[in-house]
Copies of this chain bind each other. A is one copy, B any other.
Amino acid sequence: MKVLILGGAGMIGRKLAQRLASDGALSGKAIAKLTLHDVVPPVAPAGARMPISLATGDLPAPGEAERLIAERPHVVFHLAAIVSGEAEQDFDKGYRINLDGTRCLLEAIRKAGYKPRLVFASSIAVFGAPFPDAIGDEFFATPLTSYGTQKSIGELLVSDYSRKGFVDGISMRLPTICIRPGAPNKAASGFFSNIMREPLAGKEALLPVSESVMHWHASPRAAVGFMLHAAALDLARLGWRRALTMPGLAVTVGEQIAALRKVAGDAVAARIRRVPDAFVEAIVAGWPRAFAPRRALELGFRADSSFEEIIRIHIEDELGGAIA
């Protein structure tokens, strides 16, 4: 089978590629070729057991999606997106990549006249406050960002193209990915990862909100697990409701810190410095805290078992097992 990852240079794209390269198979079938595409040059995963093709280009540019689909990949992971903050700042760019790009992909598939599996990475940003304490599967999408709007539109398109028989698609609303590797970023949500990653690396981290703030998390490893499960699932079980909220862990910042103390000790947890920031606190107050993702659980999607596990995954996958 041939596999295409759009957004193959991104954090999840790279981890998914590495996993597929190591496994050598997807849904029980050997991968004959793995293509990574992104707007910046993707990097081939180490130790791949199959040919890797690296492609750089602009998804909504004329002919780009057609070229990628011409190889008739059996599974397409569509992770390419302008992230939330940038889509909010650059309205045209967000719509061009996140809406037009997705539509170009779907049209290319429709015109190619075959029906690949499409796994579309959506986001809990499709939801906008106010919401219940735990958001159920039938709660409406009222995004408060252009990014969330574009993801919600992508979900609708994936469902309609699936219903019409043009593609076999599923949209997965990913939790906030924690612990996000790499340097601290300026995203308002960055602190959820920063306060874990930086102390584990021997550095100080700033906590801008109170410890009572609750949020919905999944590890990068869990997110890759969702992708693999979505690629293998019999989507007829979903009917035409092809967008699913993925399971995650609803934990407070206080619980995150307690887990860090338990896994890495008091000295590491002491590297978190509390610097309340009313601006960040106000933004975060508008975010979902928890979900009741009954459908995804029934379909076999599995979250991390605890926040301690999320921390251990980071130590194993990013720090080679060692805490600073």
Contact = CB atoms under 8 A, between A and B. Distances in A.
A82 B164 CA distance: 17
Interface stretch (A6-14, A114-122, A133-141, A203-211): A133-141
A229 interface: no
A152 B163 contact: no
Interface stretch (A154-162, A176-184, A307-315): A154-162
A214 to B, nearest CB: 21
Contact of A153 (B144, B146, B153): B153
A151 B160 CA distance: 12
A149 interface: yes
Contact of A138 (B139, B144, B240, B243): B139
A149 B155 CA distance: 10
B157 A149 contact: yes
Contacts of A164: 91, 146
Interface string A240-260: 110100000000000000000
A126 to B, nearest CB: 9
B240 A142 contact: yes
A293 interface: no
A143 interface: yes
Interface in A212-255: 240-241, 243
A146 B160 contact: yes
A190 interface: no
Given A128-B240, A164-B91, A240-B128, A149 B159 contact: yes
Nearest to A144: B240
Interface string A14-33: 00000000000000000000
Contacts of A143: 156, 159-160
A142 B159 contact: yes
B139 A141 contact: no
A147 to B, nearest CB: 10
A140 B139 contact: yes
A114 B141 CA distance: 27
Contacts of A163: 144
Contacts of A139: 138, 140
10 contacts: A91-B164, A128-B241, A141-B156, A142-B240, A142-B243, A144-B163, A149-B159, A149-B160, A152-B156, A153-B157
Q: Nearest 5 CB-CB pairs, A to B? A: A149-B160, A140-B140, A142-B241, A138-B140, A149-B156
